[in-house]
Structure 1
Amino acid sequence: MDMKFIKVPDLPEPAGHYSPAVSANGFVFVAGQLPRDAHGVVPAGIDAQVRQAFANVDAVLRAAGSSLERIVSVTVYVTDIDNWPTVNAAYAAVLGNHKPARTIAVSPQLHFGCLLELQVVALA
């Protein structure tokens, strides 16, 4: 099995012992992406956080030679299920007609006070 550990120059280095993504066997496995920009700033509001998290996913996928259009599965972690209608609307706005498999999970607390986190699998 051929594995490649992906580095993303546009995002902060991970603080823990992990890679932002690993490419293996034709897939890119993206580690959970919080809605923090390159300077560590988390935007206010759930809509802006969805868009920032997807911008981070996009940067990771591009670094791996993939793209948002090649996503096959997304896990969305939210701190409050009441935010789901806004999350779903922003998610649809970002992905358009592309509809990968998706799971939503409630996580009562995420790092840095973030309201959501995205974990993605895409085709390489």
Structure 2
Amino acid sequence: MSKKQIATTQAPGAIGPYSQAIAAGNWVYTSGQLGLNPETGELAEGVQEQARQSLNNVKAILEEAGASMDQVVKTTVYLKDMNDFAAVNEVYSTFFTEPYPARSAVEVARLPKDGLVEIEAVARKK
């Protein structure tokens, strides 16, 4: 199985030696996406806006790869503070429909750029 790098200007560029996503066969694996505005490179204000921007970044990357949010089978949500779990869920639920993807959510000591949330996804291409 070959792998293909996925890149779009509709999401922030990689800030290290990694790809925005990799397509392998019919599967797309995104890197974790912070709530960074792709035009300004700045973090959105507050955890809900960062979650919204993070998911918009994931969506743009998946669309570049020929997938969509309905094709997401698994996500991982990294939170700076687990007390933000409910606030992030409010935003998260607007991006997905039933059956919802499988998900892990973990609190981490620190995220790049001192972000409040980072989200990654695995999706099957259409």
* TM-score normalised to structure 2 length: 0.93
The aligned counterpart of 2:111 is 110
The count of residues paired between Structure 1 and Structure 2 equals 124
Aligned to 2:12: 12
Q: Does 1:70 align with 2:71?
A: yes
CA distance in 1: counterparts of 2:12 and 2:20, whole angstroms: 10
Deviation at 1:9, TM superposition (A): 2.1
Give the match for residue 55 of structure 1.
56
Distance of 1:23 and 1:43 partners within structure 2? 28
Deviation at 1:3, TM superposition (A): 1.1
SS at match of 1:61: helix
Partner-residue secondary structure (3-state), 1:94: coil
Deviation at 1:98, TM superposition (A): 4.4
Partner deviation per Cα, 1:53-100 (whole Å, 9 max, x = no partner)? 000001100110111111000000001010111111111122243400
Q: Which digits, 9 at most, give the CA deviation of each residue in 1:3-36, with x for residues without a partner?
A: 1111112233212111100000210000010110
Q: Percent identity?
A: 33
Partners in 2 of 1:92 and 1:98 — Cα distance? Answer: 11
Match for 2:82: what amino acid?
Answer: I
Report the aligned-residue RMSD: 1.1
- The letter for the 1-side match of 2:98 is N
For 2:81 and 2:94, the matched residues in 1 are separated by 20
1:3 corresponds to: 3
- Gap runs ≥5 in structure 2: none
CA distance in 1, matches of 2:28, 2:82: 28
The alignment's TM-score, normalised by the length of structure 1, stands at 0.94
Contact 1:69 1:98 (8 Å CA) reproduced = no
Alignment of 1:35-54 (within 5 A): 35-38=35-38, 39-54=40-55
CA distance in 1, matches of 2:94, 2:12: 26
